[in-house]
């Protein structure tokens, strides 16, 4: 995990703890666990989207080698594969929520 992500989670935990009267280390630990579970869920969703993008790229590549398939159809497969890859990358990097 990168330092910036650790800082983000620590900031969330700190802010949330200030809202709980009498918060203690247990509260902080539970909030950190919740933040990590949310991060893990987001990464799992992104991993699925990245696999779908790779699958689309492999399909496009297979069709590219088969010159019997129409050029425009192959071009559309290529565009769709890269659109999926861009969307997954943007979601993984936080550019799109």
Q: Which residue range forms the structural domain that includes residue 85?
A: 3-93
Better pLDDT: 69 or 16: 16
Tens-digit pLDDT profile for residues 39-68? 888 888 888 888 888 888 888 888 888 777
Q: How far is CA 24 from CA 37, 54, 72, in A?
A: 20, 45, 62
Q: What is the mean pLDDT of the chain?
A: 84
Q: 69 with 63: CB under 8 angstroms?
A: yes
> How far does Cα 92 stand from its chain's mean position?
3
Q: How confident is the model at residue 78 (pLDDT cuts 50, 70, 90)?
A: confident
- Quick one: pLDDT at residue 73? 85
Q: How many domains is the chain built from?
A: 1
The reported pTM is: 0.53
Sign of CA pseudo-dihedral 73, 52, 54, 96 = positive
- Quick one: pLDDT at residue 96? 62
Tokens of 28: 């902080």
């Amino acid at each position: 995990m990168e330092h910036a992500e650790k800082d983000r989670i620590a900031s969330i935990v700190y802010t949330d703890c200030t809202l709980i009267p009498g918060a203690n280390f247990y509260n902080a630990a539970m909030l950190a666990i919740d933040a990590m579970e949310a991060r893990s869920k987001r990464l799992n969703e992104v991993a699925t989207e990245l696999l779908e993008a790779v699958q689309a790229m492999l399909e496009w590549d297979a069709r590219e080698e088969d010159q019997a398939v129409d050029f425009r159809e192959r071009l559309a497969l290529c565009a769709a594969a890269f659109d999926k890859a861009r969307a997954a990358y943007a979601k993984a990097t936080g550019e799109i929520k």
